[in-house]
Amino acid sequence: MTRIGYIVGSLSSTSINRRLAKALERVAPADIELHEIRIDELPFYTPDADPDYPQVARDFKQAIADVDGVIIVTPEYSRSIPGYLKNALDWASRPWGQNSFTGKPTAVLGTSSGPISAAIAQQHLKSILTHFAAPQLGQPEGFIQSVPGLFTEDGDVTNEETRAFLVAYLQAFKELIERVNRADAR
């Protein structure tokens, strides 16, 4: 069983990215277990917390440690990632020398109604993950242009091509995780 955690970069109660994440859960094959790693209860990060991380931040770091890979599903805000997602990544990256993402397979995914579908936010995110030395899924790229009704609230995908893409995306990420694990075992 491959255990994948996903982080949703939107706190909106009507988030289409959350629907997309639910859709991933729905289409996941039997050998992939997906669950959410929440970021909405994290306070703002400050280095003052480094000597004694709050429990909520310890739990967040442990949740990343407990999975084989992390998918970040995010909208684009002002041509970058939302601030609370950056805040979560800052918590994950510290205390110094204990970055939760170092060596952790990652993938980024996002949807918006715009024609370039959160692509710039994903580029920024990839840059951060590169700095973290996190292995990343290169292809397929996760740009999904959303149209109303593409994902239902429960995560049903109403378009067959999108459903097939999400299955292929998960399969490619599972293969990356396996490659990283094999390399680590050597």
Ligand X SMILES: Cc1cc2nc3c(=O)[nH]c(=O)nc-3n(C[C@H](O)[C@H](O)[C@H](O)COP(=O)(O)O)c2cc1C
Whole-number minimum distance, CB 77 to ligand X, in Å? 4
Interface with ligand X includes 68 (CB under 6 A)? no
Whole-number minimum distance, CB 118 to ligand X, in Å? 6
Q: How many residues bind ligand X (CB under 6 A)?
A: 13
Nearer to ligand X, 32 or 118 (CB): 118
Nearer to ligand X, 106 or 111 (CB): 111
With CB under 6 A as the contact rule, the residue among 25, 84, 114, 141 that binds ligand X is 114
With CB under 6 A as the contact rule, the residue among 16, 27, 34, 42 that binds ligand X is 16
With CB under 6 A as the contact rule, the residue among 112, 125, 157, 174 that binds ligand X is 112
Interface with ligand X includes 155 (CB under 6 A)? no
- What is the gyration radius of the CA atoms in the chain, in angstroms? 16
> Binding segment for ligand X among 41-49, 51-59, 76-84, 94-102 (CB under 6 A)?
76-84
Dihedral through CA 166, CA 169, CA 175, CA 180, nearest 10? Answer: -120
d(CA 83, CA 15): 16
Given the rule CB under 6 A, which residues bind ligand X? 10, 12, 15-17, 75-79, 112, 114, 118
